[in-house]
Chains A and B, each alone.
Chain A
Amino acid sequence: MHEAAPVLQEFPLLFLVPLLPLIGAVWNGVMGKTMQRRFGHAAIHLPAILLPAGSFVISLWAFLTLADAPHGTSMYNHLWTWLPVGTLQAEAAFLMDRLSGVMALVVTFVGTLIHVYSTGYMKDEPAYWRFFAYLNLFMFAMLTLVLGDNFLLMFVGWEGVGLCSYLLISFWWRDREKAVAGMKAFVVNRIGDLGFSLGVFLLFWGLLTTPASPAPAKAHGEFRHAPAAAQEAPEATLATSIAFREVEQILEDPVKRDRIVNRDILGVGLMTLVCLLLFVGATGKSAQIPLYVWLPDAMAGPTPVSALIHAATMVTAGVYMVARLHFLFTLSPVAMTVVATVGALTALFAATIGLFQYDIKKVLAYSTVSQLGFMFVAVGVGAYWVAIFHLMTHAFFKACLFLGSGSVIMGCHHEQDMRKMGGLRKLMPITAVTYFISCAAIAGFPFFSGFFSKDEILWKAFDSGNMLLPGGGVILWAVTAIAALGTSFYMFRSYYMTFSGEYRGAAAAHGHDASAVAHDPHGVAYDSAHGAVHGAPPADPHGHDSHGHHGAHLPVESPAAMTGVLAVLGGLALVGGYVGLPLLWGLPNAFEAWLEPIFAGTAERVTSAGFGHGAEWGLMGFSIIVAFGGFFAARVLYKDGRSPIPARLLASPSPLVQATHRTIFNKYYVDELYGVVFVKGSLVLSRGLAIWDTRVIDGAVNLAGTIGRGFGFLQGAIDRLFVDGMVELVAKVVEAAGAKIRRIQTGHIQAYVQGLALGALALVALAYLLAW
C-alpha cells in the first residue's frame, strides 16, 4: 500500500545478539561454581558482562547498518527452518527492523549496565555465579523475544523471560516469602501466557480458514471451506504464515483485510478476540489490571533484577508486543479502547497505592505498574512511537531509580523501609543526585526525558479519535493526568523521606517506632529483603535484630561500579528525551521519524479528534503544573521529616481518613480478594473435585470392579462345574472301569488258559461265520 514489500537485508551476525548471553549463561551455569571457587568473582562477571556487551556492540552495528539502508529495509538472519508442519513453515530467524532495533539497543545497553552494577551489589553473594548465569539467560530470552521473526520465536522468548523472572525473584529461595513471590509471579504470568498463546492460535486459525478468493455460491461474510476453493490450492487461504511481516503484508491488502475483519466468532469479531487474548498476555507480562499483583511481590528479588527485569525490559514486553502487532490492534476499535482504558485505570490505580507505601522498592514497583499503564494508554490510542519512546526513557530513569534504591538499601544495611532512612543526601551524594534527576524525569519536569514522552502520551490520549466512546480521549487524559500528579507526589515523597533530614536508621533498628508499627499490621512483610542473610528463618518477626549492631554505622556511598552506572543512567534520564522533541516546538523529532515507516501502514486507521495546537500548548502547560504541584506537595509534607501533617493525618481519628488510608495502604485488598476468590476458590474447587473423585469416580471404578468380580465368580463356577466336570468324568469313568475290570485278573493260571481257549474258539467261530 504505502510502499513496496519490506526488503530483507541479510545480516549474518544478528543471531549472535541473543546467542552471546546464552553462551554466558551456559558457561556460568555449568562451570561457574568451579570458576568462582578457583579464580574468584572476576572469573564470573568478566564473561557475564563482556558477552552482553558484545551483544550491544553487534546490535549497534546492525542498528547503524539499518540507519544507512533505505526505508523499509530490515536486517534479517535466517538460521534454519524450525517447524515445517504442513503448509506452516516456522523459521528460526531473527529480524531487526526499526522497532526491534530500538528495543534491542535498550535491552542490551541497560542490561549490560545492570550487569556491571550487579558486580557491586552482589559482591557478598555466595551464589554469585548463579546470579550472573540467570541474568545472562534473561538477556538471551529477552533478545529472542525482541528480535524473533515470528510469533513462535517471540513466544519462546516470552516464556523464557517469565522463567528467568521466576528464577531471579526467588533467587534467595531459602526465604520462604521470596520463593512464594517467585511462584506467584510465575503462576500469574502463566495465566497471561495462556491468553497470548490462544490469541496466536486463533489468529493462525483465522488466517488459515479464511478463503483468499471468494467462494462463488456463498454470500459475503459467510466463510466456509468451499470445495471449489480447493482447486486453487495456493490461493485457498489467506495465509499459513506466522511471521509478523508476512501477516502484516497480507493485512495491507484491503480486500483480504476486509475478509478477515468481517469474520465473527460467537458474535465477537475475530480480530477483536485475537487482540483481546493477546492483550491478556500483555497484562500478565506487563503487570496491568487484573494481573498486576505479581509485580509488587517481585521486589523480593535482588534489586538489580528489579531494575532490569521488573522495570526496564521484561515488563515492557507487553507494550512492545502490542506495538509490534499494531497492524492487528488497529483493526479492532474495541481492542484499542480496552487497551487504553485498562492502561489508564492501571496508571491511576497503581499511582494511588504508591502514595502510602513505606518500602522504597514497593513505591518503585507501583510506579512501574503505573508507568506501564501510561505506555498502554499510548499503544491503545495508536500512538505507538510514543509508547516506545516512553518505554525507552522509562527504561533509563526507572532503572536508575531502582539501582539508586539498591544503592540506598545496601548503604542502609538491607533496610528497605523509608521511615528508617533519611539524610542520605550528604552520605550518598551520587546516589542522591541521580535519584533526584530520575524523579524529576518520571514526574515530568520540563526538559527531563520523562517530560517529552509522558507529555506526548497525555496529548495523544487527549486527542485520540479511536475510542469507541465519543470524547473518550478526554476521559483517558483526565485519568492519566491524575495518575501523573500522583506519580510526581509519591516519587518526591520517596526522595525526601530517603535523602532529606536526619538519618533515622540507628534509632529504628531498635524497633521503638511503636506508632508506625501500630499502623502497619503487615510490618513483617517489609522485613523481606535482607539479601546477604541466607537461610534466615522466614517466620522470624525480628529478622532485623540480627542487624541491630549495624545501626551504629552510618551508611556510606556505594562502590564505583554502582555509582558509575547510576551516573550513566541518570545522565540518560536527563538527556534521553532529546531524541524525541515535540514537533509542537518546531524542533525535529528524530524518534518519531525513525519509527514512522514501521507504523506507516496503519497510520491511516489512527485518527485524531482534531484538537489544535492551542490545546496541545495548554495541555503541556498543565502537565508542567501537575509535575510541580506533586513536587511541591511532597516537599512541603516530607522534606526533612519536619512537617507534622503526615503524622497528624495518620493519627487522625476521622473514620473517613482512617478507612481510606487503610484501604489504599493495603493495596485495596486486591491480594486478599484474589486470595479469597482464586486461591481459596481453586482450593475449594479442588476439594470438591476430590470429593467427586473419591465418591463418584472411585464409586464407578469400584462398581466396575464388583461387576468384574461377579463375572469372574460366574466364570469360575462354569469352569469348576462344567469344564472340570468333563475332565473328571473321563477320569472317573476310567477309574470305575478299571475297578470292575481288574476283577478278572484272578491270578489263577487255569482261568487264564480258559479265557485263552475260549477266546481262540470264539475267533475260530467268528472266522468260520465270516467265511460262511
Chain B
Amino acid sequence: MTVGLPQYLVVSGVLLALGLFTIVTRKNAVAILMGVELVLNAGLLNLVAFSRFGGGLDGQVFALFGIVLAAAEAVVALAIVLQVVRAQRSVDASKASDLKE
C-alpha cells in the first residue's frame, strides 16, 4: 500500500485530536502547552502534505516559518506560564480564572 495524501491527513487528524484532548483534559499548564504544540504540528503536517501532493513548495516554506514561530510562541507562552506560577504558586491552568465574569 502506497502512502498518499489521505494517510497524511489521517495522521494529522490523529495529532489534532490528541493535541485537543491534551489541552482540554490536562490541568498542568505546561502539558497544555505541549498539547498546543501537537495541534500546531498537525496543521503544519497538513501544509507539508498538501504541498507534496498538490502545489509548489509554498506550503513547505510556510511550514518552516511555522516551526520557527512555534519556537517563539513557546518561549512567550512559557514566560506567561512562569508569571502565572509566580502569581499563584501553581501550574494548574483551571485556577487561573481571574478574568471570569
Q: Which of A746, A750, A757 contacts B93 (CB 8 A)?
A: A750
- Bound CA–CA A544/B93 (angstroms): 121
Q: Which of A743, A749, A753, A754 contacts B101 (CB 8 A)?
A: A743
Q: Which of A742, A747, A753 contacts B24 (CB 8 A)?
A: A753
Contacts of B20 in A (CB 8 A): 753, 757
Nearest chain A CB to B15 CB, angstrom units: 14
- Bound CA–CA A753/B19 (angstroms): 11
CB under 8 Å from chain B, chain A span 720-748: 742-743, 745-748
> Is B99 located at the chain interface by the 8 A CB criterion?
yes
Pairwise interchain contact A746-B97, C-beta atoms closer than 8 A: yes
What 0/1 readout, one digit per residue, does chain A (370-390) give for beta carbons within 8 Å of chain B? 000000000000000000000
Tell me the dominant secondary structure on chain A's binding face: helix
Contacts of A757 in B (CB 8 A): 20, 24
Contacts of B86 in A (CB 8 A): none
What 0/1 readout, one digit per residue, does chain B (63-101) give for beta carbons within 8 Å of chain A? 000000000000000000000000000000110111111
Contacts of B101 in A (CB 8 A): 742-743, 745-747
Interface residues on A, range: 10 to 19
> Is B38 located at the chain interface by the 8 A CB criterion?
no
Quick one: given A748-B94, A749-B93, are A754 and B24 in contact (CB under 8 Å)?
Answer: yes
Which residue of the partner chain A has the closest CB to B94?
Answer: A748
Which residue of the partner chain B has the closest CB to A745?
Answer: B101
Q: Which of B23, B32, B99 contacts A747 (CB 8 A)?
A: B99
Quick one: given A753-B20, A757-B24, are A747 and B98 in contact (CB under 8 Å)?
Answer: yes
- Bound CA–CA A754/B20 (angstroms): 8
Pairwise interchain contact A750-B94, C-beta atoms closer than 8 A: yes
- Bound CA–CA A754/B23 (angstroms): 9
Instruction: Sample 18 A-B pairs with CB under 8 A, ordered by A number.
Output: A743-B101, A745-B100, A745-B101, A746-B97, A747-B96, A747-B97, A747-B101, A748-B93, A748-B94, A749-B96, A749-B97, A750-B24, A750-B32, A753-B23, A753-B24, A754-B24, A757-B20, A757-B24
Pairwise interchain contact B97-A748, C-beta atoms closer than 8 A: yes
Report B's interface with A, CB cutoff 8 A.
20, 23-24, 32, 93-94, 96-101
Nearest chain B CB to A464 CB, angstrom units: 118
Nearest chain B CB to A753 CB, angstrom units: 5
Q: Which of B23, B98, B99, B100 contacts A750 (CB 8 A)?
A: B23
- Bound CA–CA A745/B23 (angstroms): 18
- Bound CA–CA A747/B100 (angstroms): 4
- Bound CA–CA A748/B98 (angstroms): 9
- Bound CA–CA A216/B23 (angstroms): 117
Contacts of A743 in B (CB 8 A): 101
Contacts of A754 in B (CB 8 A): 24
Which residue of the partner chain B has the closest CB to A738?
Answer: B101
Nearest chain A CB to B98 CB, angstrom units: 7
Q: How many inter-chain residue pairs (CB < 8 Å) link A and B?
A: 33
Contacts of A747 in B (CB 8 A): 96-101
- Bound CA–CA A213/B45 (angstroms): 119
- Bound CA–CA A747/B20 (angstroms): 18
Nearest chain A CB to B96 CB, angstrom units: 7
Interface contacts beyond A745-B100, A748-B93, A748-B94: sample of 13 additional A-B pairs, CB < 8 Å, sorted by A: A743-B101, A747-B97, A748-B97, A748-B100, A749-B32, A749-B96, A749-B97, A750-B23, A750-B94, A753-B20, A753-B24, A754-B24, A757-B20
- Bound CA–CA A746/B97 (angstroms): 7
- Bound CA–CA A753/B33 (angstroms): 12
- Bound CA–CA A754/B101 (angstroms): 18
Which residue of the partner chain B has the closest CB to A746?
Answer: B100
Contacts of B94 in A (CB 8 A): 748-750
Nearest chain A CB to B44 CB, angstrom units: 17
Contacts of B100 in A (CB 8 A): 745-748
What 0/1 readout, one digit per residue, does chain A (752-768) give for beta carbons within 8 Å of chain B? 01100100000000000
Contacts of A746 in B (CB 8 A): 97, 100-101
**Chain A to chain B: the 6 pairs with minimum beta-carbon distance, closest first:** A747-B100, A747-B97, A742-B101, A745-B101, A747-B99, A753-B23
- Bound CA–CA A748/B100 (angstroms): 8
Which residue of the partner chain A has the closest CB to B23?
Answer: A753
Nearest chain A CB to B12 CB, angstrom units: 14
Contacts of B99 in A (CB 8 A): 747
Which residue of the partner chain B has the closest CB to A750?
Answer: B24
Nearest chain B CB to A759 CB, angstrom units: 12
Nearest chain A CB to B36 CB, angstrom units: 9
Contacts of A753 in B (CB 8 A): 20, 23-24
- Bound CA–CA A689/B93 (angstroms): 93
- Bound CA–CA A749/B27 (angstroms): 11
- Bound CA–CA A605/B93 (angstroms): 132
Contacts of B96 in A (CB 8 A): 747, 749
Contacts of A742 in B (CB 8 A): 101
Which residue of the partner chain B has the closest CB to A761?
Answer: B20
CB under 8 Å from chain B, chain A span 56-103: none
- Bound CA–CA A746/B96 (angstroms): 11
Contacts of A745 in B (CB 8 A): 100-101
Nearest chain A CB to B49 CB, angstrom units: 18
Nearest chain A CB to B34 CB, angstrom units: 14
Contacts of B93 in A (CB 8 A): 748-750
Which residue of the partner chain A has the closest CB to B93?
Answer: A749
Which residue of the partner chain A has the closest CB to B96?
Answer: A749
- Bound CA–CA A296/B32 (angstroms): 124
Contacts of B32 in A (CB 8 A): 749-750
Which residue of the partner chain A has the closest CB to B25?
Answer: A750
Nearest chain A CB to B38 CB, angstrom units: 13
Contacts of B97 in A (CB 8 A): 746-749
Nearest chain A CB to B80 CB, angstrom units: 11
- Bound CA–CA A750/B36 (angstroms): 12
- Bound CA–CA A757/B20 (angstroms): 8
Which residue of the partner chain B has the closest CB to A754?
Answer: B24
Nearest chain A CB to B23 CB, angstrom units: 5
Nearest chain A CB to B68 CB, angstrom units: 24
Nearest chain B CB to A240 CB, angstrom units: 93
Nearest chain A CB to B26 CB, angstrom units: 8
Nearest chain A CB to B48 CB, angstrom units: 21
